[in-house]
Amino acid sequence: MRIDRFAATHFRNLSDGSIEFGPGLNLVVGPNGQGKTNLLEAIYFFRLGRSFRAQVETELIRFGESFCRAEVDSTFTDGRREQFAFAIERSDARAAKTIKVNGEVLPRRTDLAGRFPVVLFGPHDLRVVSGEPEHRRRFFDMIGSMTDPGYLRTAAEYRRVVEQRNAALKGRAPRDEMAAWNERLVATGVDLLLRRRNLVASIEKEMLAQARDLESPFDFTMRYDSSLHGAGASDGAELPGVFHEKLGAVAQEEARRGVTLVGPHRDDVELVMDGRDLRRFGSQGQRRLFAVLLKLAEMSYLEAELREPCALLLDDVFSEFDEAIMAKLQRLLDGERQVFVTSPVPIAAAARARVHRVENGRVTAA
């Protein structure tokens, strides 16, 4: 996919208007705090219909305005041209959101899944490696939801079941009602666990291939760590029984706390370097390299599954990563893929890039 044009109105601090992008490297230059990341945020919104950093969508609306909107025109390898657009309106403290593709309103934001192949990589992605388990679960579930409609449905249904089961626990629901919730939790939970476990194995293969290409001196692996205590390696037919057994073991504690304590929402993906836990024993440089490999693996996996090149958004990575890692990333700037790079200063590849300068939210051709 190639992003040809971007336009916005009242989106954060970005000036209203449109921008034309080049088919290869697009360098977005300007001092910190001027709006470079806001531009990437608006583009990335179309991946799954939400921001990668705003907690509340009204934050996207420029102060003093009642709405914001943005749109992109894109071209795909089969010659298709599609326009993606979203609008967010402020209603008291809430936000009303509309998403359109080629002028048609999408009933759900998740209908965007897989239609706008873009990968974002920035300093915040270090949380996937160094942060809490929820960041790793979200990372893999986002990939699965983009490439597999079944994964998307299962993950959404599982979240609903956990929320409703928690409400039943807090309300001290009778035993027969909790038994029904247990059945739904096990059915959707086993499905999600198996899908996520298989996805982790696929991403690991892609990551190892990327590590070989980059001549990494380290041996990196990933292990799915299930809250079912070892069930990550169990046959799928065994998992429902194991799940029910674990639920029985924690039933009193769940009733006391009013929260579901077993299931894939409690799982983690253990990142291992040379046989040791990367979070505990890895250096900052090694964690950053692992983050690079994960994002490269994500991109190659999405491209294989969606059969479409991804547009790559690199947000201020040149100031965050050391020269050795950036030398490895440099090959991404030298290829045919469309790449967007934000930087406070011009970079070495600027001579063949289309350069856009950002100052006080105003984006101009440099």
Q: How far apart are CA 361 and CA 37, in angstroms?
A: 10
Structure tokens that stand for 43 in this block: 């583009």
Of 3, 104, 97, residue with least CA distance to 50: 97
Are residues 322 and 297 part of one domain?
A: no
**Lowest-confidence range among 116-130, 151-165, 324-338?**
324-338
- Look at residue 176 and tell me if it is in a domain: yes
More confident residue, 279 or 261: 261
Higher pLDDT, 109 or 158: 158
Percent of the chain with pLDDT over 70: 92
In a domain, 123, yes or no: no
Lowest model confidence (mean pLDDT) among 102-106, 134-138, 290-294? 290-294
The residue that leads in pLDDT, 112 or 335, is 112
Same domain, 110 and 214: no
How many domains, the chain? 2
Note the pLDDT tens digit of each residue in 182-219.
Answer: 999 999 999 999 999 999 999 999 998 888 887 777 78
- Minimal CA–CA distance to 35: which of 55, 62, 58, 57? 62
The residue-averaged pLDDT of 284-288 equals 84
Residue 289: which of 319, 312, 323 has the closest Cα?
323
CATH assignment of the domain containing 160: 1.20.1050.90
In a domain, 126, yes or no: no
- Region 139-159: mean pLDDT is 96
- 323 and 294 in a common domain: no
Give the mean model confidence (pLDDT) for residues 231-248.
Answer: 81
Is residue 233 scored above 60 in pLDDT?
no
Are residues 230 and 318 located together in one domain of the fold?
no
Examine residue 143 and state whether it is found in any structural domain, yes or no: yes
Q: Which of 138, 145, 135, 132 is nearest to 47 (CA)?
A: 145
Question: Taking 60 as the threshold, does the pLDDT of residue 95 lie above it?
Answer: yes
Using the 3D structure, point to which of 260, 276, 307 is the last residue of a domain.
307
For the chain, the average pLDDT equals 90
Structure confidence by residue, pLDDT tens digits, 26-74 = 999 999 999 999 999 999 999 999 999 988 899 999 999 999 999 999 9
Question: What local confidence, expressed as pLDDT, does residue 328 receive?
Answer: 65
Q: Taking the mean position of all CA atoms in its chain, how far away is CA 237?
A: 30
If asked whether residues 285 and 147 sit together in one domain, one would say yes
Residue 350 in this model has a pLDDT that exceeds 70:
no
pLDDT at position 344 is 87
Query: In the listed set 307, 326, 355, which residue is the last one of a domain according to the structure?
Result: 307
Q: Give the per-residue pLDDT at 212.
A: 83
Same domain for 192 and 249? yes
Q: Answer yes or no: do 294 and 364 share one domain.
A: no
Question: What pLDDT was estimated at residue 348?
Answer: 67
Residue 230 lies in a domain: yes
Alpha helix segments (H runs only) across 272-335:
278-281, 284-306, 317-320, 323-333
What are the tens digits of pLDDT across the range 300-323?
999 999 999 999 999 987 766 666
Tell me how crowded residue 171 is: count the other CB atoms within 10 A of its CB: 10
Decide: 331 and 296 in contact? Cβ < 8 Å: no
Pair 321, 338 in one domain: yes
Q: Does residue 137 sit within a domain?
A: yes
Res. 231 pLDDT band, cuts 50 70 90: very low
Residues 204 and 272 in one domain: yes
Range of the domain at 200: 132-307
Asked if 331 and 304 touch (Cβ cutoff 8 Å), the reply is: no
117 is written with which tokens? 């192949």
Q: Report the CATH number that the domain containing residue 19 is assigned in CATH.
A: 3.40.50.300
Q: How many Å apart are CA 213 and CA 196, to the nearest integer? A: 26
What pLDDT is recorded for position 216? 75
Q: What angle do CA 294, 298, 299 make, to 5 degrees?
A: 120
47: in domain: yes
Lowest mean pLDDT among 221-225, 326-330, 344-348: 326-330
Q: Is the pLDDT of residue 251 over 90?
A: yes
The bridge status of strand 311-315 relative to strand 339-343 is parallel
Q: What is the DSSP string of 167-200?
A: HHHHTT--HHHHHHHHHHHHHHHHHHHHHHHHHH
Asked whether residue 106 falls in the same domain as residue 141, the answer is no
Q: Note whether 9 and 48 are same-domain residues.
A: yes
Of 258, 282, 307, the last residue of a domain is: 307
What are the pLDDT digits (tens) for 258-275? 999 999 999 999 999 888
CB 1 within 8 A of CB 117: yes
- Asked whether the beta carbons of 126 and 291 are under 8 A apart, the reply is yes
pTM above 0.75, yes or no: yes
Beta strand 354-359 with 25-29 is parallel
127: in domain:
no
- Per-residue confidence (pLDDT) for residue 264, from 0 to 100: 96
Residues 291 and 334 in one domain: no
Q: What is the DSSP string of 10-40?
A: SBTTPPSEEEE--SSEEEEE--TTSSHHHHH
